[in-house]
Amino acid sequence: MGASDPLLRISGLHKSFSVDGRRLPVLVDCALEVGRGEVVAIVGRSGSGKSTLLNMIGLLDRADGGEHVFDGVDVTRLGEGRRARLRNTGVGFVFQTFHLLERRTALANVCVPMVLGGVPAVRRRAHGRRLLESVGLRDRVTSRPHQLSGGEQQRVALARALSMDPAMVLADEPTGALDGATSEQIMDQLLVQARTRGTAVVIVTHEPSVAAAADRRIAIEEGRTRPAE
């Protein structure tokens, strides 16, 4: 795969769900390309299919049909085991509600993907500490989620998303539960990672200021993608 080729290429993607005995289309004909190091915002009304598309991109769910190539791999042909390995090594996730393990320290939360990836304990703890320091949490390594502010918890989640050095980070409303100043800090961190690591970032958001910080904006309407105005 050449350096100029997109990291992610999706076309003709469609997905429907069964509701009360009938099929409800959610994604109809989605197309999207994302380059390495590019920041793309996906915008649209609630129920337009934004999070469903993000789940498809992140290999959390399968589309009913269409093309989906990630880092040169046609993921539509992969079995569940290979999809899980690619998801663990190639994609990092940041969610609105953090999804941290309450009884684990910040460091232990950051290390979860590395445990699943078989990274030796000494290496994962050292890498986890470096990541926490990179997001401004050097002094919070042993803190548990209930001891952290919302912004600090989201920074732990961001460090966790980066722990396997993924090619892409997917963020689903990452600033939705945060105040304005903290939202700006989280966006700055995401942009820094994209610029310094060459990590692609795809953000689902309702917030105009977050979308405006992206390199490109894609709108979803009635299950179809188009460039946002």
Q: Each residue of 71-114: pLDDT tens digit? A: 999 999 899 999 999 999 999 999 888 899 999 999 999 999 99
The model's pLDDT over 11-63, given as tens digits with 9 standing for 90+, comes to 999 999 988 888 889 999 899 999 999 999 999 988 889 989 999 999 999 99
Note whether 200 and 194 are within 8 A (CB).
yes
pLDDT band for 1, please (50, 70, 90 cuts).
very low
Range of the domain at 49: 8-227
Is residue 2 included in any domain, yes or no? Answer: no
Over range 172-183, report the average pLDDT: 81
Closest of 221, 215, 189 to residue 202, by C-alpha: 215
Residue 1 lies in a domain: no
Is residue 3 included in any domain, yes or no? no
In a domain, 43, yes or no: yes
Reading the block at residue 15, the tokens are 């997905």
Cα separation of 11 and 67, whole Å? 5
Domain with 205 in it: what CATH number?
A: 3.40.50.300
pLDDT bin (cut points 50, 70, 90) of residue 192 is: confident
Residue 125 located in a structural domain: yes
In a domain, 205, yes or no: yes
Count up the domains in the chain and report the number: 1
The torsion of the CA quartet 55, 81, 111, 193, rounded to 10 degrees, works out to -50
**Residues with Cβ within 8 Å of residue 85, at least 6 apart in sequence:** none
Is 160 inside a domain boundary?
yes
Does 22 map to a domain? yes
